[in-house]
Amino acid sequence: MSRSISSALALLATLALSASCGFTVTQDRPAYEDLEPHEQSVVQKVLTELRGFNEQVEARTTLSIAAMIEKEKINVSFEGHLVSANLGDGVIHVAPWENLSDQQRELVRSWFASPSLASAKSSYETLFYRFLAVSQGAKQYMYEALTVAWVFGNRSIYNVERDTIREALSYYRTIGQQASMWGFLTRICKPMLAKHRGTIPFDKKHLNANFQSLANPKAPTGYLYYICEWIEMGKASAVDLTTELLWVQSIPALAAQSSSGTTTNN
């Protein structure tokens, strides 16, 4: 790996996950067979979603994310951190519900205005193990199409997240689950949007300036609010999945056409 890519990975990992909380991402993690049963279950759930997404990718493009669909490529070895990430390090990171602290589970319950912890757990699992897992798969597709180095060097976190969430929405519509998944997302995001619109600025500048506090993995309430806003945007702008996937491949050409050398899709 080149020094520039290594540096980009280190920077993004620091931004996305450390947030001054002593959290680090390492390749020195337990093998699948050494995971707890609940952690193995999370890995299998994530892999199921990624397989379904990749079937659509391979059917509609010449690319594939098959290399990511391996049990050792799903990192669930987190304690006390709320994480869903694909840092371009060849691994998808996701935090199991059972590994959260009691305080964090109560935080999740407050996010969704759930009537019970059991209800919050169900919503968390659908969001993190299914929808956000597909959005991380969409991110992997972007890395395959554009390379990790190009994405890190030319695209903003805001737009990468916005586009991959929109792609995940399009995927669930394509496989006939628009009503169930979109309806679920609308329901869980309603309390977040009602509470934080008007109190947390939703724009690229604010995200860039406050990323570490918004995405603090111990309590990423601000970032969950951003995810809900991106979901709302995506529901309004998502097109068919083939168009979404092929558009990703065209991003460098669109950037090159811009008179300023950049594009609003960066």
139-192 confidence digits (pLDDT tens): 999 999 999 999 999 999 999 999 999 999 999 999 999 999 999 999 999 999
Contact at 8 Å (CB) between 32 and 71?
Answer: yes
| The predicted structure's pLDDT at residue 163 | 97
Go through the chain and tell me how many residues it has.
Answer: 266
| DSSP label of 182 | I
256 vs 266: CA distance, rounded Å? 11
Mean pLDDT of 126-132: 98
Q: Provide mean pLDDT across the span 16-38.
A: 67
- Secondary structure element (H or E) that encloses residue 75, with its range: strand 74-75
Report which DSSP code applies to 129: I
Element (H, E) at 93: strand 92-94
| Amino acid of residue 197 | R
Up-side HSE of residue 255: CA atoms within 13 Å toward CB? 15
Q: Give 93's strand partners.
A: 75, 85
Name the strand (E) or helix (H) holding 86. Answer: strand 84-86
Q: Give me 192's structure tokens.
A: 């977040």
CA distance 161 to 202: 13
* Dihedral (Cα; 161, 48, 236, 87), 10-degree rounding: 0
Between CA 114 and CA 116 the distance in angstroms is 5
Domain boundaries, the chain: 35-251
Residue 52 pLDDT: 98
pLDDT tens for each residue of 84-101: 999 999 999 999 999 999
To which H or E segment does residue 89 belong? none
**Contact, 60 vs 68, CB < 8 A?**
no
**pLDDT attached to residue 211:** 95
Average pLDDT over residues 249-265: 72
Q: Is the Cα torsion angle 206, 209, 210, 212 positive or negative in sign?
A: positive
- pLDDT classification of 13: cutoffs 50, 70, 90: very low
Strands 92-94 and 84-86: antiparallel
Q: Are 217 and 19 in contact (CB under 8 A)?
A: yes
- The stretch 11-16 carries a mean pLDDT of 40
